Structure 1
Amino acid sequence: MMAITRYPAAPRRGAIGIVHLGLGAFHRAHQAVYLERYRQRSGDDTWGVCSANLRGNVGLVDSLAAAGHRYHVAEYADSQTVTLREIGVLEETHFTGQDKGMGRDADGQWGRDLAPLLARMSDASVRIVTLTVTEKGYFLNPASGELLTDDPMVAADIATPHTPRTAPGLLVEALARRRAAGLAPFAVLSCDNMPDNGRRTRAAVIQLAARRDAELAAWIEREVAFPCSMVDRIVPAMTDADFARLAELGVEDPNAVVGEAFSQWVVEDDFPQGRPAWEADGVEMVADVAPFETMKLRLLNGSHSLLAYLGALAGIETVFEAVNRRDLGTLLRRYMLTEAAPTLAMPAGTDLAAYGESLLARFANDSLRHRLQQIAMDGSQKLPQRWLLGTLARLEAGHDAPCIALGVAAWIRYTASQDLQGTRYPIDDPLAARFAELHGQYGQDAEALVNAFLAMHDVIPPALARQPSFVTAVFGAYRTLTREGLAGALAALERT
């Protein structure tokens, strides 16, 4: 019999202290849950959330508005243990992207709700702006950290800064308005899976602001806080099966999200205009988040990416299916303990072996249908942080990295847009067109193809591509994977 715990939402308050950019499933199942718990515990009515969807479909924004901005989160410890939470902390939702069929509107603004969103961000009551826009939403070169000024969206923000389309553009315009009005700036808190996410956000905003006004850029650099954070909760994309399971529990909610019971949020404590006292609700406030975020990126996210590219090539659909294969479980343990963990500098007392085992237990949660194709998205943006920077440090210290060499080989093969059995799938990545071009040009010459991918210096750090042993290992793994399949490649790895 299923054990169900239910928590209704706290009474509505109406005061908004936080604007969030990126109204996706993760925000609704992570940050919003912490804020809902804080509101229920404290009764503090000043930290409601205005959340905006910057791209994708307008339907979620309208659906949440129709529901009074309330929705449900189902937290599964396993298939028989679930906590149902009603979330009411959202006070407003906006859409600023370009929905299908929506061009520029009559007054030249991009997206339907840009004006009210900027007005909200410019309001003195807003003291924090948070982001979950994925790695590509910052428009930074993943290898160098430089702003992608030749991207059409960034170029549009430079040409017409008062009608921004990107998250950095929205931040620059709102901060410019606050500066002009004599208002203190809000703190900017990135909640995306990037190392040094606060500092990378700061770099994107300042670089974009400098294209507009050097004094504005200097003011942002001097006055605006960009704390880093580490977020952790597995939140798969919703499926029809998820909605059916919720309906069996009496929840008919098109905006519901499902996640695991585990949740973690580690935040650098730098909020000049104040913040919620959310320590009592499980948020870890620290002076330096870097060790925690690097640990999570290289162990959890790095392992997820290994499963995603290798598993997808073998036709495996979910993390649960993949991690329950003995050979893939063995791969993850080897990767975490021998390749990733030695690159980490953790506080005394951190047990990385225990952390790794806890990750494997979370991956094996039979209640989650976390699709490997979802994890495989945007690999060009994710892999430098998850695999490549740590691997470079390992190689420079004189060690090898055969697990990551196999992972890179699998990623290259994955970008061919069909698995090892010939089943086709779309590639969701900002560099998808370039991948297709490389496969078209070099697809019949494995060595040339591998070399061409490793020469993509906006993804692969040049110093890593110059490591002969790594190049040789990637090519060897690619050849074995394409000739002998997943089982053959994993068996070959076990012999090294």
Structure 2
Amino acid sequence: MTTVARPAYDRASLTPGIVHIGVGNFHRAHMAVYLDDLFALGQDHDWAILGAGVRQGDARMREALAGQDNLSTVIELDPAGHRARQVGAMTGFLPVEPDDAALIEAMADPRIRIVSLTVTEGGYYVDSTGQFDPTHPDIVADAAQPSSPATAFGAILAALVKRRAAGVQPFTVMSCDNLPGNGHVTQNAVVGLAELYDASLAAWVKHNVAFPNGMVDRITPATGPHERELAQGFGLTDPVPVTCEPFRQWVLEDNFPAGRPALEKVGVTFTPHVHAYEAMKIRILNGGHAVIAYPSALMDLILVHEAMAHPLIAAFLHKVEVEEILPHVAPVPDTSIPDYLTLIESRFANPEIADTTRRLCLDGSNRQPKFIVPSLRDNLAKGIVPEGLILLSALWCRYCAGITDSGAVIEPNDPSWDALTTRAKAAKADPAQWLAMTEVYGDLGSRPEVVAAFTTALNAIWAEGTEAVLRRYLAS
């Protein structure tokens, strides 16, 4: 049995200062670990986490963690050796209720000075232009019953109303999701919802509540039997252990009027240049994930490190990154962009992570417009037709047709899977139909050079298969 690191502090001394909505794997391997490290220094024990959620998945996580005193098993998968720790930064997990009553009451407590979120990239109710969508049924429902909301943003608003009425300073709202300008996106959601039923409240939120931008990074696979077996190898029976890579990064704007924990003491970077770090990460890492995901899946490569060991996949990633992504990434303080790409490639190739290409393919309809299309547009703005990125779009289309090159069935892997599959099958005969998804591509489907390159790529994939198309692209 291998040693497990336990919390190096008295958990009884902790009091909550943060309510976190969305206690998934990433949060427990990222923010909770940073706070665990800070508490171990004897610092800021009044900043513990109170877990919360608004979805059924959150209720299942609450039940699982309740049986182990809200401790999370986090296993770092370093090729040099696995390291396990139990993270004790969370002291409780609020009941998950349809009207969010317990969540609202907790956030109204003056001791809570930060409300943080990991509700996934698709959980912010944005439309095809990236703006808040006030017509979404969830938002319309919350606007109609603001005192008993069902969304995280409705609950945040209800708690802010209680605090304002009681003369209590607003908490800071901190997104920990992987979104460009995540603070601005979160502010738009909260203010946009408020505008639907109380313009004065919306104005008050806009001028009094802080929404710092942040960049977060750590590869954290989904939990399954393999991860539970790893925990058992450390003598731990945990239904929801977290595995992750050794690397982690967190970059934040220092905009916390109600106070914050001293996270700079445990490696968090506070800077006014979050946007630069964020653009680098989203374009190179998240964009890179997409570049390897779809060709790998079509070639029946299951694990990410196996895909990176395939010469065609590794070379495709490197060529697209170097020629079509890196030239459009702005400088980042104290960072070499080529060195960052080398780091990303080594992280993807870590054989211990056992991350799956299926996970990387998940939710392409939400991820492509954020991680790929901006780089595609930057190339076009400079008069370059980015054949690699357009080929990637064709590979995504081919993936959504629902079968791999070998004929294996691809199970649904997107919230809009049925619609995507229908469109992908139609695009086999008329490729322009795929680019007509304005919610993904905007006006790019009307550009002849894009349609021509996409048509050539998609026709070739269907006719010759992914491997042959990659070989020709790499030889060009």
Under a length normalisation based on structure 2, what TM-score does the superposition of the two structures give? Answer: 0.95
* Structure 2 CA distance for partners of 1:444 and 1:467, relative to 1, 3 Å: closer
Contact 1:54 1:95 in 2 (8 A): no
Extract unaligned runs of 5+ from structure 2: none
Q: Which moved more, 1:486-495 or 1:28-37?
A: 486-495
Q: Secondary structure at the match of 1:472?
A: helix
Residue equivalent to 1:106: none
Assess, with a 3 A threshold, how the Cα gap between structure 1 residues 445 and 351 changes in structure 2: closer, same or farther.
Answer: closer
Please state whether the residue corresponding to 1:459 is helix, strand or coil: helix
Q: What displacement does 1:274 show?
A: 0.6
Tell me if 1:263 matches 2:243.
no
| Contact persistence 2:2–2:233 (CA under 8 A) | no
Q: CA deviation at 1:7?
A: 4.3
Residue 10 of structure 2 is aligned to residue 11 of structure 1:
yes
Name the SS of the counterpart of 1:136 in structure 2: helix
- 1:251-290 deviation per Cα after TM superposition (whole angstroms, max 9, x unaligned): 2222321000001000111000110011110100111200
Once residues 183 and 107 of structure 2 are traced to their aligned partners in structure 1, the CA distance between those partners, rounded to angstroms, is: 18
Counterpart amino acid of 2:64? Answer: S
The reply to whether residue 413 of structure 1 matches residue 401 of structure 2 is no
**Could you list the per-position Cα deviations for residues 200-230 of structure 1 after superposition, in whole angstroms to 9, with x for gaps in the alignment?**
1111111111001000000011011111111
Determine if contact 1:234/1:260 at 8 Å carries over to the other structure. yes
Using the alignment, how far apart are the partners of 1:340 and 1:469 within structure 2?
Answer: 19
Give the match for residue 52 of structure 2. 52
CA-to-aligned-CA distance 1:277-335 (integer Å, 9 cap, x gap): 11110100111200101111110111111221111122111111111111111111112
Provide the rounded CA distance (Å) in 2 between the counterparts of 1:479 and 1:356: 31
CA-CA distance at 1:197 after TM superposition: 0.8
Contact residue 21 and residue 131 of structure 1 kept, 8 A: yes
Residue of structure 2 equivalent to 1:110 = 98
Q: What amino acid is the match of 2:83?
A: T
Q: CA deviation at 1:5?
A: 7.0
Q: Look up the match of 2:92.
A: 92
Residues 3 and 81, structure 1, Cα contact 8 Å, conserved in 2: no
Question: Please, which of 115, 120, 126 is the counterpart of residue 106 of structure 2?
Answer: 120
Equivalent residue letter for 1:54: V
SS where residue 429 of structure 1 aligns? coil
Please say if residues 64 and 71 of structure 1, whose CA atoms lie closer than 8 Å, have aligned partners that are also in contact. Answer: yes
1:149-172 alpha-carbon deviations (Å, 9 max, x no partner): 332222211222222222222222
**One-letter identity of the residue aligned with 1:23:** V
SS at match of 1:17: strand
- 8 A Cα contact 2:23 2:51, kept in partner: yes
Q: 2:428 aligns with which of 437, 441, 446?
A: 446
* 56 and 334 in structure 1: CA distance in 2 versus 1, 3 angstrom threshold: farther
Q: CA deviation at 1:429?
A: 2.5
CA distance in structure 2 between the aligned counterparts of 1:433 and 1:156, rounded to whole angstroms: 25
d(CA) in 1 for partners of 2:439, 2:91? 39
Q: Residue 472 of structure 1 is aligned with which of 446, 452, 472?
A: 452
Structure 1: runs of 5+ lacking an equivalent: 97-108
Q: CA deviation at 1:480?
A: 1.4
Q: Which residue of 2 aligns with 1:104?
A: none
Please state whether the residue corresponding to 2:372 is helix, strand or coil. helix
2:70 aligns with 69
2:121 corresponds in structure 1 to: 135
Paired with 2:470 and 2:146, the residues of 1 have a C-alpha distance of 51
Q: Is the 8 A contact 1:4 1:82 kept in 2?
A: no
Aligned to 2:21: 21
Query: Residue type of the partner of 2:428?
Result: A
Shift of 1:458: 1.5
Q: Distance in 1 between matches of 2:95 and 2:433?
A: 39
Q: Which amino acid aligns with 1:263?
A: R
367-376 or 26-35, larger mean C-alpha shift: 367-376
List structure 1 runs of 4+ shifted beyond 6 angstroms: 2-5
Distance 2:255 2:177 in 1: 17
Match for residue 372 of structure 1 among 348, 357, 360: 357
Alignment of 1:110-189 (within 5 A): 110=98, 114-141=100-127, 143-189=128-174
Q: How far apart, in 2, do the equivalents of 1:245 and 1:458 lie?
A: 41
Q: Tell me: CA distance 1:256–1:492, structure 2 relative to 1, closer, same or farther (3 Å).
A: same
The one-letter amino acid of 2:455's match is: F
**Counterpart contact for 1:188–1:226, Cα < 8 Å:** yes
1:482 aligns to 2:472 (yes or no): no
> Offset at 1:66?
1.9
Counterpart position of 1:102: none
Find 1:276's aligned residue among 255, 261, 279. Answer: 261
Q: How far has the Cα of 1:349 moved from its partner?
A: 5.1
Counting only pairs closer than 5 Å after superposition, residues 189-268 of structure 1 correspond to structure 2 as: 189-268=174-253
AA aligned to 2:104 is L
Task: State the Cα distance separating 1:445 from its structure 2 match.
Answer: 5.2
Are the aligned partners of 2:110 and 2:168 in contact in 1 as well (CA < 8 Å)?
A: yes
Kindly report which structure 2 residues correspond to 1:399-438, keeping only aligned pairs within 5 A, or say none: 399-438=384-423
Displacement of 1:94 in angstroms is 3.0
Contact 1:303 1:332 (8 Å CA) reproduced: yes
Which residue matches 2:442? 461
Deviation of residue 4 (structure 1)?
A: 6.3
Question: SS in structure 1 opposite 2:441?
Answer: coil
TM-score (normalised: structure 1):
0.91
Label 1:426 to 1:176 Cα distance change in 2 as closer, same or farther (>3 A): farther
RMSD (Å) for aligned C-alpha atoms: 1.8
The CA distance in 2 between the partners of 1:349 and 1:179, in whole Å, is 41
Secondary structure in structure 2 of the residue aligned to 1:145: coil
Identity between Structure 1 and Structure 2 (%): 35
Partners of 1:337 and 1:56 lie apart in 2 by 42
- Secondary structure, counterpart of 2:290 in structure 1: helix
Amino acid of the structure 1 residue aligned with 2:86: E
Q: State the alpha-carbon separation in 2 of the partners of residues 493 and 95 from structure 1.
A: 53
Are the counterparts in 2 of residues 446 and 475 from structure 1 also a CA contact under 8 Å? no
Q: Return closer, same or farther for 1:5/1:92 CA change in 2, 3 Å cut-off.
A: closer
3-state SS in 1 of match to 2:212: coil
Alpha carbons 2:223, 2:240 under 8 Å: kept: no
Structure 1 residue 194, shift from structure 2 partner: 0.9
Asked if the contact 1:158/1:208 (under 8 Å) is kept, the reply is yes
